[in-house]
Chains A and B, each alone.
Chain A
Amino acid sequence: MIALADCNNFYASCERVFRPKLNGKPVVVLSNNDGCVIARSNEAKALGIKMGEPAFKSRDIFKRNGIHVFSTNFALYGDFSNRVMSILSDSVPSIEIYSIDEAFMNFRGIPKKEEFGIELREKVLQWTGIPISIGIAPTKTLSKVANSIAKKQRKNGVCVLMDENEALEYLKLFPVANLWGVGRRFSQMLQNNSIQNAYELTQKSDHWLQKHMSIVGLKMVKELRGEPCFDMVNGWRRKKSILTSRTFGHEIDNFKGLAQALSTYASMCAAKLRKEGSCAKTIHIMIFTNPFKQNYRMNYKGSKTIILDTPTNDGLEIVSRCIDALRSIYRRDCIYKRAGVIVSDIVPQSQVQLTFFHKHANIEKRQNLMTAVDKLNDGYGRMKVRFAINGFEKKWHLRQEKLSPCYTTRISDLLRIKC
């Protein structure tokens, strides 16, 4: 038995915890640089605000309807995610954290699953202020379906799909496009084959499914029929790659500025690698101009892949390799809007094999240096200790006009309560 816990309107709910005034009021959260809507409270959904709607187009609608608008505050959302996940993992035998606001839970051996789900939901709500929904079913795919029913149709936020016939009745009402892993590509194909709901999909032959939707699609449908095909993974999966990419607050037209931004993203990737005890063998850098502003401008996408001899998480090495690579793809006649660094081919630090020419002493020294840098930054705030090339210019920093305080992660931002 698997249960999927999913936080309701997670980012909007986090913004509400420290602002009781916003209960029952429409709330939206905007993406990085305040670009578009990425989270909506139920009230905002009811007003017809769509996911991905560009913020500049919606300013009037926000104002007219008294919608409360926030910039993304990932420090806050990350902290609440940790709290919710820690409560879930203390309550069930094992969990698989699937995203910032979702986790699969192993419900095997838990008697009275529905009551347990309701109590767990109550506990998370009371302890953190975050409402969650729980879908309980024999397979992961069905637990996704159950969760979506719980969210929309159950007052207590919990839905159990144990009985096969009952599950089929729900699948008849469930649009295929909303199924886990169907996506835009398959939903068009399924529509062309006049398959509208999930039930109709389960009636197709295995042969047909594998031919049209590959083996993963077949497994998904088998799961809908109640046959488990996707196993639980314990805890976090080790990431396959780490991407740090940002759109600049202001466009950049010189090498120095671009190098500052790119080296900052490279340092952040390296710090993430060190945090999870991993090393990467491949580094990929990308720079972009703004494709929406084409008049009199060059539209250019530059990228380069660097393959290292030895996987590393050394910030100094990753930054200097990125800057070298940037030199070879930088064009002076362009104005840049976005840049990013991806590190991949990730292996555990303990499995890294050194080449014959590595000097052990040097590596240890570097590792100690990086550990010291991480410790300082953990204690005093991200990027407080940085490489000189990261610079202190703020031009390319995110535009976050409506940022809420980091209530849980910065002492100066703590809530102030009247007494």
Chain B
Amino acid sequence: MQLKSPKLYLPKIMAGFPSPAEDFTELSISLDQVLVKNPPATFMAYAEGDSMIDMGIHHGDIIIVDRSLTPCNGDIIVAALEGEFLIKQFSKTKTHIKLIPHNSKYPIIYINEDTDFQVWGVVVHSIRSYR
């Protein structure tokens, strides 16, 4: 991930008819720009495990986390729970906070006042490689 802006490369044209496309040259698409809206607050991590499989986050996926966002109901978050990081779905009601897994094998985690809990960041993308 870069904080710098990309450079523009144009081929040198030696002679002959100028390329008709030259005036229409645009920056090539940058995945950085698509996936990273706020570079200083964005971090990447690998997901490990299968508790979010029904949400489409698989073991080995790269997740992109934006710490500048405030989590809304239904967001996937990175939580710091009792000193450990977890990826779960965030759910907040008037009375309590729940961390919901998306795999029936795993239980819902209920957060109460005594729990050492913090939202570390909001997961905004996940990237999976197929080969």
Whether chains A and B associate is yes
**A contact set with B: CB distance below 8 Å:** 20-21, 23, 82-84, 86-87, 123, 126-129, 407-408, 411, 414-419
Bound CA span A87–B39, Å: 10
Q: Are A418 and B40 in contact (CB under 8 A)?
A: no
- CB neighbours (8 Å) of A407 from chain B are 43
Bound CA span A21–B78, Å: 15
Which residue on chain A has the smallest CB distance to residue B45? A415
Q: Are A87 and B40 in contact (CB under 8 A)?
A: yes
Q: Which of B46, B68, B84 contacts A127 (CB 8 A)?
A: B68
- CB neighbours (8 Å) of A128 from chain B are 40-41, 67
Bound CA span A245–B49, Å: 44
Q: Are B83 and A126 in contact (CB under 8 A)?
A: no
Q: Are B67 and A418 in contact (CB under 8 A)?
A: no
Which residue on chain A has the smallest CB distance to residue B101? A419
- CB neighbours (8 Å) of A129 from chain B are 67, 120
B62 CB-CB contact with A under 8 Å: yes
- CB neighbours (8 Å) of B62 from chain A are 414
- Contact A126 B67, CB 8 Å, known A415-B46, A415-B85, A417-B86: yes
Contact with A along B95-131 (1 / 0, CB 8 A): 0000001000000000000000010100000000000
- CB neighbours (8 Å) of A417 from chain B are 45-48, 63, 78, 85-87
B14 CB-CB contact with A under 8 Å: no
Bound CA span A127–B66, Å: 8
Known: A127-B68, A418-B51. 11 other contacts (CB 8 A): A20-B83, A23-B83, A82-B3, A83-B39, A126-B68, A129-B120, A414-B62, A415-B46, A417-B45, A419-B48, A419-B51
What's the nearest-Cβ distance from chain A to residue B69, in Å? 9
Which residue on chain A has the smallest CB distance to residue B39? A86
Bound CA span A87–B40, Å: 7
User: What are 11 A-B contacts defined by CB distance under 8 Å?
Assistant: A20-B84, A20-B120, A87-B41, A128-B41, A407-B43, A408-B43, A411-B44, A415-B45, A416-B48, A417-B85, A417-B87
Contact with A along B61-87 (1 / 0, CB 8 A): 011000110000000001010011111
Q: Are A419 and B57 in contact (CB under 8 A)?
A: yes
What's the nearest-Cβ distance from chain B to residue A375, in Å? 10
Q: Which of A20, A21, A86, A416 contacts B40 (CB 8 A)?
A: A86
Q: Which of A20, A84, A123, A127 contacts B85 (CB 8 A)?
A: A20
- CB neighbours (8 Å) of B44 from chain A are 408, 411, 414-415
Bound CA span A123–B40, Å: 11
Bound CA span A411–B62, Å: 10
- CB neighbours (8 Å) of A419 from chain B are 47-52, 57, 86-88, 101
Which residue on chain A has the smallest CB distance to residue B2? A378
Q: Are B83 and A21 in contact (CB under 8 A)?
A: yes
Which residue on chain A has the smallest CB distance to residue B57? A419
- CB neighbours (8 Å) of A416 from chain B are 45-46, 48
What's the nearest-Cβ distance from chain B to residue A269, in Å? 22
Q: State which residues 28-57 of B face A: CB under 8 Å.
A: 38-41, 43-52, 57
What's the nearest-Cβ distance from chain A to residue B91, in Å? 16
- CB neighbours (8 Å) of B63 from chain A are 417
